[in-house]
Structure 1
C-alpha cells in the first residue's frame, strides 16, 4: 500500500513540516548534488551514520564500503554529529521523494496537534531513537545509514495514536492493475509497522539496504512520545471542529 492522501483536514499551516521538507530538499541539492555520484558518495563518507564508528568498533583511518567497488576512509569525522546529519540525507531520488511524500501526508496533522516547535523537537527525538534502534540491531556494522525514514516513522506512529480512525487513501497493486483503497489509519500504519519488523527479521545483518529497525524504532518512539509532546488544547480543538476525526486514546 502506498498512501495518496488522508481525509484529515488541518486547522493551521504546517510550518515545521514545510520547513523540514525544504531542509531535506536543500541538503539533497547543495550537499548531495541532486544524487550525482561524486557529491553523493562524498556526503556519505563525510556525514553518514556508521554504527561501528559510534560504538568504537571502527576508528579513524579504517575503510568502509560505499558500494561493491567503492570505499571510504574514515577521517576528520565527528561521529556524535552523524545521527543528526544523516536524518537529513538520502541515497537516491526514490528515497527522498518517498520519504518527503510520507512526511507531507502525515506530518501536517501531527504538527496540528503539537504546534511547530514541539513538532520539531518530537521529529528530532524520533530520528535519534530510530538511529539508536538501528545501531542496537548491529552494533559493529560498517554500513553507512542515511535517511529521514526513522524520524518519519515516528510521525507515522504519532498519527496512528492521534487519529487511528482517519481514512487514508492508498494505491494498491492487484496483479497488473492498480486500485485505490481507503482504510483507517491504524490499519495502514499498523500494516507498515509489522512489515518493517518482518523485513528486519528476514534481512541479513551487516548488509546494506533498507534500515528496517530504524523505521520500527522511530515508529515506537512516535507512539510513546506523542503523549508528552501533543497539546491537549490543540487536539481538543481539532476533534471539535473536525467531527469525522476520532481519537480512541485518552491523553
Structure 2
C-alpha cells in the first residue's frame, strides 16, 4: 500500500515539516558526494551502532567512542539510498503537516526529535549486539504517524495498491490504514526475532517503538488552544 494523499488540508504553512524534509534532502545530497569508504565511515560514526555501547572494547578497537551518544540523534537525518529517503520524506509530507498544525511549530519539532530518539532506544534495546549502523528518519516519522492516528482517525488516505501491475486507487480511513501498517511492523519484527537467520535491513522495532512513543507523548504536546476543524469548515469554508 502506497499512501498518496490525505483528506485534511493544513491550516498554516508547516514550516518545520518542510525544514525537516529539506534538511534530510541536503544531508543526503552530501552523502552522494562521498566515496563508498567515506560513506561507510559516516554511517558508522553518525549512525546508531548498538554494539559500540554494549561492547566498548570492540568499539574502541574499531575507532568508535562508546561514550558518544550523539548518534541517537544524528542517525535520524541519514539515509541509505534514494528509495529510503523518498519513501520516508513522502510519508512525512503526508502526515506531518496536520500534526504540526495540531501541536504548533515548536512543539512539533521537539516532538519529532523525541520520537526519533525514543525509536532509536527501542531498536538499541532489542538489537544490543548489532554491529550494523542504523540510519533513517522512519522511527521519528512512525511517531508522527502514531500521533496522526489519535488526532485524525477519520481522515481518509488515498492509497495506491498495485494489482497485477495495474494501479488501483482506494480511500482508506486513516485509522484502518495506520493500524494495518502498525501490525505489519509488529508481525515483521516478531518474525525477525523468531528467525535470526532471516536477513532484513529494516529496523522494525524502531518503527514499533516510535509509533507507540508518538501516541504516549502526544498528550504532553497538544496545543490546548487548538479549535477542532469541523467538516463544514473544511469543505464549505464557512
TM-score by length of 1: 0.85
Secondary structure of the equivalent of 1:181? strand
Q: Is the 8 A contact 1:133 1:213 kept in 2?
A: yes
CA distance in 1, matches of 2:65, 2:212: 34
Runs of at least 4 residues off by over 4 Å: 204-208, 239-244
After TM superposition, give the deviation of residue 4 of structure 1 in Å. 0.2
After TM superposition, give the deviation of residue 99 of structure 1 in Å. 0.3
Instruction: String of CA shifts for 1:64-95, please: whole Å, max 9, x gaps.
Output: xxxxxxxxx33467630001000100111100
CA distance in 2, matches of 1:35, 1:187: 41
Q: Give the alignment of 1:119-158 within 5 angstroms.
A: 119-158=108-147
Stretches of structure 1 that go unaligned for 5 or more consecutive residues are 63-72, 245-251
Q: Is the 8 A contact 2:56 2:66 kept in 1?
A: no
Q: Is the 8 A contact 2:160 2:170 kept in 1?
A: yes
Stretches of structure 2 that go unaligned for 5 or more consecutive residues are none
1:225 and 2:217 matched: yes
CA distance in 2, matches of 1:84, 1:186: 29
After TM superposition, give the deviation of residue 61 of structure 1 in Å. 3.7
CA distance in 1, matches of 2:8, 2:233: 8
Residue aligning to 1:213: 205
Residue aligning to 1:22: 22
Q: Is the 8 A contact 1:157 1:220 kept in 2?
A: yes
Q: Figure out how many residues of one structure are paired with residues of the other and give that number.
A: 232
After TM superposition, give the deviation of residue 131 of structure 1 in Å. 0.4
Q: Give the alignment of 1:54-73 within 5 angstroms.
A: 54-56=53-55, 59-62=58-61, 73=62
**Which one of 178, 184, 187 corresponds to residue 167 of structure 2?**
178
Structure with the higher fraction of residues in helix conformation: 2
After TM superposition, give the deviation of residue 37 of structure 1 in Å. 2.8
